[in-house]
Amino acid sequence: MIIQTVAFVIKKEGRERFEGKTSKDVASMLEFPGCLSSECWFSEDKDTCEFMLVSKWESKKDFQNWLKRPEHLQEHRDAHKNKETKPSIVLEKTRKSYEVFS
């Protein structure tokens, strides 16, 4: 079993847009084979917001399969394609993977 986390520190003005994205991602994970649980945690300070997606998977392969689904890959292609005309709201992204050992 593994735990996947991905934290996004974003510009505060992107909060509403990112709430929609993370809600969609959590719902997608929960319906995907191998996902045991998924949550999004949120915090904010004066200038930024942080969204942390935390998901538990039966195996690393299950999580990788979720990442490789066509709609997820298309989201990333679209984001990179629009990078010049639409500046990113994401200031920082950190992803970690943990194995459950007890």
Q: Which CATH architecture has domain 2-99?
A: 2-Layer Sandwich (3.30)
Q: pLDDT tens-digit profile of 3-49?
A: 999 999 999 999 998 999 899 999 999 999 999 999 999 999 999 99
Q: Where along the chain do its domains lie?
A: 2-99
Mean pLDDT of all residues in 90-101:
92
Q: What is the pLDDT of residue 31?
A: 96
Per-residue pLDDT tens digits for 58-75: 999 999 999 998 887 777
User: Does pLDDT of 84 surpass 60?
Assistant: no
CA distances 79 to 2, 55, 56, 60, 89, Å, are: 28, 23, 26, 25, 11
